[in-house]
Amino acid sequence: MKNLISIVSIFLLLIVNSCKENEQPTFFTVDMMAFITVLDKQGNNLLDPNQEGAYDFRDIKIYYKRNGIMEEFYEAHLDMPRNFRIDPPEFERDYIMALVLDSEKTVIQWNKTEADTIQAEIQDDASSVIVQKVYFMGELKWDGETATKGRGFTIIKERQ
């Protein structure tokens, strides 16, 4: 019986000491996604697999600038092995590319002949890693200070 009382006493002591009043857990925030609609000059969505001339997601490669060198991203074990996905239409929007902006310079290689550069301003501190601004080909496309919606924008591709 003494053993049971000792065990229960230790258990209650652990429970009481583990719960401090008003103590909030600390979370680390990571918000590095961009949502890109890609259109041609006629307004056709180039991510729509049913659209003639659309990009084939299997050809798209993503490169990040790390230590001054552009490195291709590919990790087969991830849900998004190339750090992007093509989302189908829903909620009154068309096909979009959900892309992780994992460095200040990201290059999207659409196919063997077409590539585009995205620059990002990233806040990286002890509690978060958050994209603050996104530039496409040098033009500001999204600014976290003035945006009213998520980190989405449209790019128009000049194609032959």
Inside any domain, residue 3: no
Number of domains in the chain: 1
Inside any domain, residue 126: yes
Selection from 125, 123, 122 nearest residue 134 by Cα? 122
Q: Which residues are 143's β-sheet partners? A: 133
Q: What is the pLDDT along the chain (160 residues), one digit of tens a residue?
A: 556 566 656 655 566 665 556 666 666 667 778 899 999 999 999 999 998 889 999 999 999 999 999 999 999 998 999 999 999 988 767 899 999 998 899 999 999 999 999 998 888 887 778 778 899 988 998 887 776 667 788 999 887 5
The pLDDT assigned to 84 comes to 94
Q: Which domain holds residue 84?
A: 24-157
The pLDDT assigned to 144 comes to 76
Inside any domain, residue 5: no
The pLDDT assigned to 93 comes to 76
The pLDDT assigned to 123 comes to 83
Selection from 71, 77, 40 nearest residue 55 by Cα? 40
Inside any domain, residue 152: yes
Cα separation, 108 vs 114, whole angstroms? 8
H or E element at residue 18: helix 2-18
Inside any domain, residue 4: no
Residue 19 per-residue DSSP state: -
Inside any domain, residue 81: yes
